[in-house]
A and B are shown apart, each in its own frame.
Chain A
Amino acid sequence: AQKVTQAQTEISVVEKEDVTLDCVYETRDTTYYLFWYKQPPSGELVFLIRRNSFDEQNEISGRYSWNFQKSTSSFNFTITASQVVDSAVYFCALSEARNTDKLIFGTGTRLQVFP
């Protein structure tokens, strides 16, 4: 069965702290895709990254970095030197090659960054 687990419901940090959001996934497919989306208070989900199952290279984009580990079925997201504007709900999602229409989302992690 496919499933995405984001065990952290809420995280609070103070500006400039680093924070890691955890994501663990389950799938029986060998080909799949992992995503992170950000949902600010305005409501729309903003696409952050897509990673396919054959590419385990970690990725860095500015203050954002992602650590994909197939051995532990995890796709964690780290924000370095957090800022107040990073406050949002972050969703990890999975889609399988046999049905890439369907994004399977986790329940999200609410991040609050305080000044």
Chain B
Amino acid sequence: ETGVTQTPRHLVMGMTNKKSLKCEQHLGHNAMYWYKQSAKKPLELMFVYSLEERVENNSVPSRFSPECPNSSHLFLHLHTLQPEDSALYLCASSQDRGGTYNEQFFGPGTRLTVL
């Protein structure tokens, strides 16, 4: 595997379910990100992790819970979601956070539908 992978690619869940999204990066990067992409809205940064430590949380509701057990893996745990949470959830990584060179490499996303 190369680059950034995300599983599952598609997920349908009810509002009372608990599910997790997984992201894995094979680039040796130290920073990882979760983004939400809703229709007709700009991508929204949700969480930033650097060396497994959360460094930014952009006022995301507590029904989204991130976990970064090591620098290669990032999870987004979901519980009691709302229909408006339906979106494409993108994971990204970069060599380090901050600094001049911070191009982020993205995974293919998980298309989430909340019924």
Contacts and interface: CB of A to CB of B under 8 A. Distances in A.
Interface of A: 4, 33, 35, 37, 42-47, 50, 52, 91, 95, 99-108
A51 to B, nearest CB: 11
6 contacts: A44-B106, A44-B107, A99-B98, A101-B33, A101-B98, A103-B43
A47 B109 contact: no
Contacts of A50: 101, 103
Interface string B44-69: 01001000000110100000000000
B99 A100 contact: yes
Interface of B: 3-4, 9, 31, 33, 40-43, 45, 48, 55-56, 58, 88, 90, 92, 97-109, 111
Contacts, number: 62
Highest count of chain A CB atoms <10 Å: which of B4, B42, B56, B104: B42
Given A33-B100, A107-B41, 16 more contacts: A35-B103, A43-B9, A43-B111, A44-B3, A45-B92, A46-B106, A47-B105, A50-B103, A100-B97, A101-B33, A101-B45, A101-B97, A102-B48, A103-B43, A106-B42, A107-B40
